[in-house]
Amino acid sequence: MHTLSKAVLGGSLLLCSSLASASPLQWQNNSLTYLVGTDFQVDPKTQQTVTFEHVSGWNFGDLFFFVDSIHYNGGRNARGDNSSWYGELSPRFSLGKLSGQEISFGPVKDVLLAATWEFGRGDLHNYLLGPGFDLAVPGFDFVQLNTYYRRADTPDGGRGVWQVTPAWAWTQPLGKSDLLIDGFIDWVVDNDSRSGYHANFKFNPQVKYDLGKALDWSPKQLYVGVEYDYWKNKYGIKDSSAFKTDQSATNLIVKLHF
């Protein structure tokens, strides 16, 4: 395992331990999402996914975690599986919170050390580490920009690549309820020639209507909408006429927060 891999995984495990014991929780939100969509590439065309998400704020920074349970409608992937799973654990350590000093300049509200551990079926492990920024953008609920040095834990010892990941949320009143537009971009900006991993670009916005608020039930708890999933060179596999990997897929979604 690479030194970066050990650092990210070790830090993540240490963080999980601290979350369970000493670190005071400031806020948290959990959700379950059901997605069904078509026009996926590399994997079977039609898929259903159930996603658990957790996001929380702590006295040291914040934490994002999710796991996808993916089911192929009558198809199988290249490994012969009719289902798969994938998850990410992403702690960020706030320099402002840890120092007790406000760190802000221009549109930057805080500077953080961002880490991500990507894991999934088939012994998938990727490790990411780099600077993150919380940004103040008028009209948005939040805007984040994380930049990572990304490395896969693979036997061939491929070199690392760089990734840029902005994330955002924007709420707009609509009738008696609200429209929430949120999402992220994962942009791997260079190639790992040793492993054949190509630069790739994933754009993943969701447009959701606050159905709970519209039904006078409870705001910010039940959403319905659509997700668009564009991925150029999916999984870092170069798109070609012989094997199409550029993906443009749409999901219908129902999301319940608790």
Q: What is the pLDDT of residues 128-139, one digit of tens each?
A: 999 999 999 999
pTM to 2 decimal places: 0.88
**Dist. CA 91–CA 61, nearest whole Å:** 8
Query: What pLDDT shows up at residue 80?
Result: 83
pLDDT single digits (tens) 19-48: 445 559 999 999 999 999 999 999 999 999
Q: What separation in angstroms does the CA of 9 have from each of 101, 119, 176?
A: 28, 11, 45
**Residue 244, pLDDT above cutoff 70:** yes
More confident residue, 22 or 227: 227
Query: What pLDDT, on a 0 to 100 scale, did the predictor assign at position 20?
Result: 46
CATH number of the domain within which 13 lies:
2.40.230.20
| Domain span including residue 235 | 3-257
Let me know how long the chain is.
Answer: 258
State CA 198 to chain mean position distance: 20
Closest CA to 151 of 33, 7, 29: 7
Structural domain count of the chain: 1
Q: What is the mean pLDDT of residues 113-136?
A: 96
* Mean pLDDT score of the chain: 91
**Straight-line distance from the first to the last Cα atom of the chain, in angstroms, rounded to the nearest whole number:** 37
pLDDT digits (tens, 9 = 90+) for 65-78: 999 999 998 889 88
Position 19 scores a pLDDT of 47
Question: What secondary structure letter does DSSP report for 239?
Answer: P
DSSP H helices, 49-205, are 95-99
